[in-house]
Chains A and B, each alone.
Chain A
Amino acid sequence: MPVSLRYVIKRIFYLFLVVLGVITIVFIATRIIPAHPEFLWAGPHATEEQLQEARNELRLNDPIWVQYVYFIENMLTFNFGISWSSRHPISQDILSALPATLELAISGFIIGILIGLFLGIRAAVKYGSIIDKFVRSLSISGSAIPVFWLALIFQLILAIKLGILPVGYRIDPNAEILEGFQPITGFYTIDTLIEGKFDLFLDVLKRLLMPALVVSVYPLCLTARMTRSLALETLQEDYVRNMRSWGVKDNVIIRKYVIKAVIPPLIASLGLSFGYALVGSFLVEVIFAWNGLGMYVVHALANYDFPAVIISVMTVAIIYSSINTVVDILHAYLDPRIRL
């Protein structure tokens, strides 16, 4: 039986409520906590006219619930105002930075999930061996690594000392001039392929590899830890023991049965893994000169451009909630027990 439409609609309705909740928290954080929100909005060096403009824009003279309704309307129509540090509409800035962050986060996420799954199953099969010990200590210590520091170490060793990988940037800085490269979707791996520039595609991949490896650490550790304990549980089931006694090869058991039992609970954790990947890319982008949302936020923070920061954070929270909803629906599709 496929997932009922009712369940999907319920989840999507719930997502809508969560998005409203996120907007509400942002509203409370920006309008109710500070005594003078216009200072937050207009920046530290604003003139009296700019402050007046901010007051009008925020409708601070209206009652608070009018401000609230107006705020929600603006957020839902992507009317975020103008960033005074970049002098572009914030929505446009975010739209141009978002593909870079997503490209990095998704690559790190996929690398992390695949390696984590592989290591987790290896560890469970060779329970108590050196591999198992390695995976266990990796998954405990992995969550203690500051990613931005790991990024520096990778950069120091792989790029500066050994010179295997480029130091930073998403693409050769001269590509636009020399090769006539123009971003289309903003995902450079896709863009270079669309434009048929294969050498540029390799360059993009090379530059993506190091930050993606760094971002993959948290999802990797989470996946490895979960896979290991789930696979251990499955390997102790009676049916696995029976198959072994029948002489079914370990490889077949793992490929056909263990993985099947491990995947559904793992899917449920994908949302959190992706959240880790997103936050990770947020923190390492500035180190790799990666023109994404994380770097945008760091620059906006340095310029006291708070609306840009707040809206970026809100955007990421909404993406994160949407992914969690998709994951929930996917999980329900794979595991009939949780369809309620």
Chain B
Amino acid sequence: MIISSRFIREYYEYLKKDKLGLTGAIIVMIFIFLAVFAPYIVPYPADAWGYAYNIEQRLQPPSLAHPFGTDVYGRDVFSRVILGSRFSLIIALGVVSIALLIGVVLELFAGYLGGRIGTFFMRITDMFLAFPPILLALLFAVVIGRGLLNLIISLSLAWWPWYARLTYVQVTTVKNMPYIDAAKIAGINTPTIIFKYILPNSLTPVTVQAFLDMGAAILEAAALSFIGIGVQPPNPEWGLMISEGWYLIGVAWWISIFPGIMLFLVVMAFNFLGDSFREFNNPKVRRLLESRGI
């Protein structure tokens, strides 16, 4: 199984040597801290949630009182950017876990049963993969509606086929292993074989991919919010904040630029972390580490 205290300790040891991965991990931890405690630490909580309007303070450039300036309603951009991390974290966790659940469960059965049913499920998956990234999520978002929860649902509905394909490949490999045959001969029932033997042994590649996808999920959610179909005002989602300021770019650049910097930093940190996690799970790299006594 992938999560155990030994595994976490080993990964920690690995991270100490991998500078990019470590940078990513630190930024991600700061990000999670901000996401959890944002409402209590930002200077202007009411501005952050978007319910305060201080028209006489509008479009102020960055200053000591407002490090990132103020937006068109006079709200403190800094507070909003910090609280925005909460939205992005919820989106990343929500999308990846729902998509993982759908993809793994569906293809676990399809892959194990194989034959016509397996092929049928793979064809359905292929249809979903025929859409360019984001656009399928856009389609679902149009149908389901706007808002944070609907955004998470539409992104997950567009995301699961990637995990499904990975799981399918892995399950078809694992189910032909001798120990599965042995379990069958021993008369163990099918659900037990699927959940106790095949599932744990098929999870690694898909979990690594899910880790790698966190940043991409945040980015796609921001893109959908940017075109107006994701998180709705007055919430401080980064993509939405960029769209609230873009037409003022010549007058008040800070409204759009700062949320973008934050978005870029967090997505990059997730990419670095995911990349190092993949390297760590790569059997070749692990063998090398073990031979060095780590």
Contact = CB atoms under 8 A, between A and B. Distances in A.
Contacts of A5: none
B256 A149 contact: yes
A33 interface: yes
Interface stretch (A22-30, A111-119, A202-210, A241-249): A22-30
A12 interface: no
Given A306-B142, A317-B135, A156 B268 contact: no
Contacts of A317: 130-132, 135-136
B142 A309 contact: yes
Interface bin, chain B = 35 or more
Nearest to B238: A146
Interface string B53-76: 000000000000000000000000
Contacts of B227: 283, 286, 297-298, 301
Contacts of B253: 156
Nearest to B144: A33
A275 B80 CA distance: 33
A30 B143 contact: yes
B8 interface: no
- Determine chain B's interface SS by DSSP, over half rule: helix
B267 interface: yes
A278 interface: yes
A267 B96 CA distance: 30
A101 interface: no
A259 interface: no
B120 interface: no
A286 B263 CA distance: 20
Interface in B220-251: 222-223, 226-229, 239, 242-243, 246, 249-250
Contacts of A147: 223
A160 B249 contact: yes
Interface of A: 18, 21-22, 24-26, 29-30, 33-34, 40, 140-141, 143-149, 152-153, 155-156, 160, 275-276, 278-279, 282-283, 286-287, 297-298, 301-302, 306, 309-310, 313-314, 316-317, 320-321, 324
Interface of B: 20, 123-124, 126-128, 130-136, 138-140, 142-144, 215-216, 219, 222-223, 226-229, 239, 242-243, 246, 249-250, 253, 256-257, 259-260, 263-264, 267-268, 270-272, 275
